[in-house]
Amino acid sequence: MTKSALEISEWFRGLQDRITTALEKADGYGKFREDLWEREGGGGGRSRIMENGKVIEKGGVNYSAVFGNTPDFLRKQGSEDQMLEESFFATGVSIVIHPCNPFVPIIHMNVRYFESGDGSSWWFGGGIDLTPHYVIPEDAVFFHQSLKTTCDRHDKQYYPKFKTWADDYFFIRHRQEMRGIGGIFFDHLKEDHTQPDKTAIWKFVQDVGNTFAPVYTALIEKNKEKEYTETEKKWQRLRRGRYVEFNLVYDRGTRFGLETNGRTESILMSLPPIAEWIYDYKPETESTEQKTLNFLKKGIDWIEKRST
């Protein structure tokens, strides 16, 4: 493990502190409960979970820093891209928040760092994406514009590239729907002939991490007092069902975690408090629910939408 890896890990731990503080303040009532855990094989984590807050129905902000021998199937992958050695170090922060109010969106953030045993190969990954139960166009524009502003400070190519990546990644193929309105997603970000040096990439990843709290607390503040009906709460449960489908069928982090004997409760904190499935449910044409479905498509340019 290199000095840099420790610094990155420490910064992620501090990010978890800052985010849980900001979320407790935004909730105004709920508190995070903390679980420290150790990984057999090396390292561990600090899971923080809030349940039954005033704003947050269920949410997790997890930090981990683990090391050890690279699992066999990862090593096999590594032989292809020459990124994995015998041992590894991985650290990051993962967040999923399921709010009470159906007009407050579900949000997910992840920032992570990986390096091989001797530190000679490394990469960053991460992203932030939003899953509104009801897509509110001005919120979607605000969200994407905030991410673009963060990205643009580092590389003008980041936002369009990582926005497309998110569109491709957060797609529920068997439903032919996006999980939400996307955001940014990136992986294997490392120094090469097209990327800047490690310090510059690390600054970008930190900037992504710092973008989470102000953006999400703004969306909470704007929508948390909105009144809602039982019909809207039911729709929220149905959309949460889709969230479950994505996370258990497609999400690489979830599947990787479950397959490598990760800490199940920390991995599955992403699942909603409650979810519903109705056979072949189709909202009425022209309903706000159907309008939301129309927005769950790949390739919508939210920033362009604002200017037209």
- Measured CA to CA in angstroms, residue 257 lies from 37, 260, 293, 302 at distances of 15, 5, 30, 32
Instruction: Output 37 or 228, the one with its CB closest to its own copies.
Output: 37
Among positions 159-188, residues that touch its own copies (CB under 8 A) are 173-175
Instruction: Output 261 or 287, the one with its CB closest to its own copies.
Output: 261
Tokens, residue 221:
């503040």
38 binds its own copies (CB under 8 A): no
99 binds its own copies (CB under 8 A): no
Residue 108 known to be catalytic: yes
Instruction: Classify residue 276 by burial, with Cβ atoms within 10 Å: 0-12, 13-18, 19+.
Output: middle
Q: 3-class DSSP state for residue 78?
A: helix
117 φ, ψ (degrees, to nearest 5): -50, -45
Beta bridge partners of 22: none
276 binds its own copies (CB under 8 A): yes
268 binds its own copies (CB under 8 A): yes
Helix (H) or strand (E) holding 293, with range, is: helix 288-295
Helix (H) or strand (E) holding 297, with range, is: none
Give the integer Cα–Cα distance in Å for 289 and 285: 9
Among positions 280-299, residues that touch its own copies (CB under 8 A) are 280
Least distance CB 177 / its own copies (angstroms): 10
Number of residues this chain uses to bind its own copies (CB under 8 A): 33
60 binds its own copies (CB under 8 A): yes
Per CB under 8 A, the segment of 120-128, 190-198, 206-214, 265-273 that binds its own copies is 265-273
Residue ranges in contact with its own copies by CB under 8 A = 33, 35, 49, 51, 58, 60, 173-175, 237, 241, 244-245, 248-249, 255, 258, 261, 264-265, 267-269, 271-280
